[in-house]
Chain A
Amino acid sequence: MPAPAGGTRPSNRPPPRSAESQIRWASAPVGYLAVITVLLLIETVLLMLVVVFVVGLLRSHAEILRRLAAVEGEGADGGAVPERMVGASTDAFDIVGETLTGDSVKVRLGAGSPTTLLAFLSSGCAACGPLWESLDRDARIPAGARLVIVAKGPEQESMTSLRELAPRAREVLMSTAAWGDYAVPASPHFVLVDGGSGQIAGRGTAGSWEQIVSMVERAVSDTALTTTDSAPSRVRTTSERAGRAEQALAAAGIAAGHPSLYPAGKPPAVGERV
C-alpha cells in the first residue's frame, strides 16, 4: 500500500488480516469445542452404561448370597434354622418315581400308610452333602418313620453325581413331579407325613441329620398331643363310627359269623332277621 501523504508512518501493529483468514481463525475454536463436546457426551453415555451394569451385578450377587444363606440353614437375616417343623395339615400325595437302577415305584402316602419322612435332596446342593453322608452311614430314622429319599428326575439331575452320593443301603426315587406336588422350595427339604391321617404333619429344612431327628421327633410328639384321649375326638358320622368298629373287630380276628357276635349261640340263617 502506498505510504500516506505527509510522510506519517502507522504504529507497530500487525497488518490487518484478510477476511478469509479472519473467518478461518474464528471457526477453529468452534470446531474444536464441538469435537470435545461430542467426546464428552460419548464418555458420559458409556459411564452410565457401566454404572447400570455394576449395579445389576451387585444386585444379583446379593440375591445369590441371600439364597445361599437360606440353603445353608441361615435365614435371610442371618438367624438360625427354625427348630420346629412347620405344620401344614394338608393331604399328602402319592409319589411315582424311578430308582437309580431303572426300577419303577409308586409310594402310597394316604391314610393307613406308614408314617413317612420324605427327604428332598439333590446332587448339586452343597447343603445336602452332610445329609447324604449321614444317610450313607446308616443314620437313625426318627420316630420309626419310613424314609423316602426323593431327587428330581434324570432331566434335572446329574445321574453320575447322584449315583456317587446315593446311600448304598437306601433307595433313591427320582421324581420331579413330587417336588412340584409338595411345593419344595429348595433342597434340602423334609416333609413328614402322618400315616394314620395321610396328612402332612410338618415340613422344614435342616443342616444336619441330628437336627432333622430332633425336629421330626418333636413334630410327632406335637401330633400325638393333639390326639390324646383327653382331647375330644373329631365328631364322626354313624357310618364312620361303624366302620371304625368294624376295623377294630377285624384287627382282633372277629369277622362276620364269629360266634362271639351271637350270644344266642347261633348265627342267623340267610334271610333270617337278627
Chain B
Amino acid sequence: MRITGHGLSIDAPQGWEARIFRRDGAAPVLHVATFALREQDGDFGAAASGRMRPDDAFASLVEYRGDAVVRAGVGLFSAIGRPATLRAHDFGPAQLQVTRAGQLGCQRFFTDVGRPFCLYAAIRPAGKGPGRLARELSGVLATLELSGR
C-alpha cells in the first residue's frame, strides 16, 4: 500500500508500517518499519529503535533544509542519487544513532532531485541474518519516489 505526502512516496508491503510527516518549520521525514510506529518517534527513530523486536527493520529518510551550511550536492550531501541497495556489510553497531544490543545501523547522506537527505536504517537480526534483513529493507526502499522542489 503506497502512501504519499510532502513530496515523498513509498510502497509499504504487508507487514510494514510507514509514516510521512513534517513537524512545524521542519523538512519532511519518512519512516518505514516492520513494527508499529508512533507519532512521537524521533526523526531518526530514537524511540522507535527501542521497540525493535528480533528480526525487525527500520529506516528513516530525513530531508534537510538548505542553508549556509547545508547545501544540496555539496559537502556531506555531495553524493548524487539515492544509495544503492543496502547489504549486510553496510551495517554495523558503530553506525547506530542509539546503541542497542543486537542492533546494526547504517547511515547515508545524499542529494536527489535537488533535495539533501539522510537515510538511516537499523536492523536487529536474529532468526534472519543481516543479509536477508538488508535485502528486505532495500526492497521496500526501492519503491521510494521523490518529487523535485
Chain A residues packing against B (C-beta within 8 Å): 94, 96, 98-99, 101-108, 110, 112-114, 146, 171, 246-247, 249-251, 253, 255-256
Instruction: Name the A residues within 8 Å of B16 (CB-CB).
Output: 106, 108
Instruction: Name the A residues within 8 Å of B2 (CB-CB).
Output: 96
Q: B127 near A114 (CB under 8 angstroms)?
A: no
Q: A106 near B126 (CB under 8 angstroms)?
A: no
B21 interface contact, C-beta 8 A: yes
Instruction: Name the A residues within 8 Å of B19 (CB-CB).
Output: 103-106
Mark B1-33 against chain A: 1 for CB-CB distance below 8 A, else 0: 111111000001011111111100000000000
Q: B36 near A106 (CB under 8 angstroms)?
A: no
> Which of these, B1, B15, B129, contacts A96 with CB under 8 Å?
B1
State the CA gap A249–B54 with chains docked (Å). Answer: 10
> Which of these, B6, B17, B21, B129, contacts A106 with CB under 8 Å?
B17
Q: B36 near A113 (CB under 8 angstroms)?
A: yes
Question: With A114-B36, A171-B39 given, is the CB distance from A255 to B14 under 8 Å?
Answer: no
Instruction: Name the B residues within 8 Å of A98 (CB-CB).
Output: 5
Q: B36 near A108 (CB under 8 angstroms)?
A: yes
Q: A108 near B17 (CB under 8 angstroms)?
A: yes
B112 interface contact, C-beta 8 A: no
- CB-CB nearest 8 A-B residue pairs: A104-B5, A250-B126, A250-B127, A103-B21, A104-B3, A250-B54, A104-B20, A108-B17
Instruction: Name the B residues within 8 Å of A102 (CB-CB).
Output: 5-6, 22
B55 interface contact, C-beta 8 A: yes
Instruction: State the main secondary structure of chain B at its contact with A.
Output: loop
Q: How many A-B residue pairs have CB under 8 A?
A: 70
Listed A/B pairs (12) with beta-carbon separation below 8 Å: A94-B14, A96-B3, A99-B21, A102-B22, A103-B21, A104-B4, A104-B6, A106-B16, A108-B16, A108-B36, A146-B36, A255-B127
B75 interface contact, C-beta 8 A: no
B93 CB to closest chain A CB (Å) equals 15
> Which of these, A94, A99, A171, A256, contacts B1 with CB under 8 Å?
A94
**By the criterion of a CB under 8 Å from any partner CB, how many residues of chain B are at the interface?**
26
> Which of these, B15, B17, B36, B127, contacts A249 with CB under 8 Å?
B127
Residue on A with the closest CB to B126? A250
The listed residue with most A CB atoms (<10 A of its CB), out of B2, B6, B126, is: B126
Instruction: Name the B residues within 8 Å of A249 (CB-CB).
Output: 127
Within 8 A of A (CB), among B20-57: 20-22, 36, 39, 53-55
State the CA gap A110–B16 with chains docked (Å). Answer: 9
Residue on B with the closest CB to A102? B5
